[in-house]
């Protein structure tokens, strides 16, 4: 339905969507809530990085909440990047958002992103590849597999992010990643092996562990 309408509301804001991007879910608002708790000063010029930008709903909503902040968004799909760019313009934050094509599967992928960042956010693909065909038909048939396929165990994207997270984070920065149901322990282990600790796990409205907060 969101693709037919061409829009989905996130955090009270209208976001354009197309089949190039995952339709934003209310669960992802858990990540925005966590960021606002961890970084309560709305007037500081925070630097924010969004890995796997999609429609831009996370980064752009955060830039609206932090009017002095600047952000960088990394996206693999050119079509998705076009959607995010249109949303940045519509939400009047384009001047504070640098949106770029990039692939975290490539060596040294993080080096051109700048940094350090006070906040890194990501809602990466986390569905096991073998489970994609068992998703709800409206998801499996219409939403981009690039935004869903997390590899054989669903955790591939977290491994790529973990390799660069410490280099991208400010010394007192935070990394917030959305996770699938039941992935909190294994995801935390991946980041622990990269020197990051997960002191907090944030639950969504259904009581499921949905976001882990990491520091180093």
Q: Answer for the pair 49, 72: CB distance below 8 angstroms, yes or no.
A: yes
Residue 88 token pair: 């940045």
Per-residue pLDDT tens over the stretch 149-200: 567 899 999 999 999 999 999 999 999 999 999 999 999 999 999 999 877 8
Residue 166: count other Cβ atoms within 10 Å of its Cβ. Answer: 16
Instruction: Give the model's pLDDT for residue 103.
Output: 94
> What is the per-residue pLDDT across 51-98, written as a single tens digit (0 to 9) for each?
999 999 999 999 999 999 999 999 999 999 999 999 999 999 999 999
What are the structural domains of the chain?
2-215 (3.40.50.150)
On whether the CB atoms of residues 138 and 69 are closer than 8 A, the answer is no
Please report the pLDDT score of residue 102 as a whole number. 95
User: Between 78-90 and 57-65, two packed helices, what is the crossing angle to 10 degrees?
Assistant: 20
pLDDT of residue 203 exceeding 60, the answer is yes
How many residues are listed for the chain in this entry? 216
Tokens at residue 163, please?
Answer: 């390799």
Contact 8, 24 (CB under 8 A): yes
pLDDT at 159: 96
pLDDT of residue 148: 61
Number of C-beta neighbours around residue 79 at 10 A? 13
Q: For residue 20, give the H/E element and its range.
A: none
205 has pLDDT over 80: yes
Does 139 have pLDDT greater than 60? no
How far is Cα 132 from Cα 135, in angstroms, rounded to an integer? Answer: 6
The pair of structure tokens assigned to 11 is: 């955090």
- Given CA atoms 69, 118, 126, 179 in this order, what sign does their dihedral have? negative
What SS3 state is found at 172? strand
135 pLDDT band (50/70/90 cuts)?
Answer: low
Summarize pLDDT for 5-29 with one digit per residue, the tens: 778 999 999 999 999 898 888 899 9
pLDDT range class, residue 1, cuts 50, 70, 90: low
Helices (H), the chain: 2-5, 29-38, 57-65, 78-90, 137-140, 156-168, 184-192
When pLDDT is cut at 50, 70 and 90, the band that residue 128 belongs to is confident
């Amino acid at each position: 339905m969101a693709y037919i309408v061409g829009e989905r509301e996130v955090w009270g804001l209208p976001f354009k969507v197309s089949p190039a991007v995952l339709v934003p879910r209310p669960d992802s608002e858990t990540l925005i809530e966590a960021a606002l708790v961890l970084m309560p000063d709305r007037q500081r010029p925070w630097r924010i990085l969004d890995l796997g930008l999609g429609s831009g709903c996370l980064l752009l909503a955060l830039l609206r909440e932090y009017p002095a902040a600047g952000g960088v968004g990394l996206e693999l799909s050119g079509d998705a990047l076009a959607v995010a760019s249109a949303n940045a313009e519509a939400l009047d934050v384009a001047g504070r958002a640098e949106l770029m094509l990039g692939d975290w599967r490539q060596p040294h992928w993080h080096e051109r992103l700048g940094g350090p960042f006070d906040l890194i956010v990501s809602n990466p693909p986390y569905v096991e590849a073998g489970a994609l065909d068992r998703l709800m038909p409206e998801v499996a048939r219409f939403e981009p597999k690039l935004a869903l396929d997390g590899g054989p165990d669903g955790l591939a994207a977290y491994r790529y992010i973990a390799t660069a997270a410490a280099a991208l984070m400010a010394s007192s920065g935070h990394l917030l990643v959305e996770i699938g149901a039941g992935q909190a322990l294994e995801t935390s282990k991946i980041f622990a092996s990269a020197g990051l600790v997960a002191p907090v796990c944030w639950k969504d409205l259904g009581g499921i562990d949905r976001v882990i907060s990491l520091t180093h």
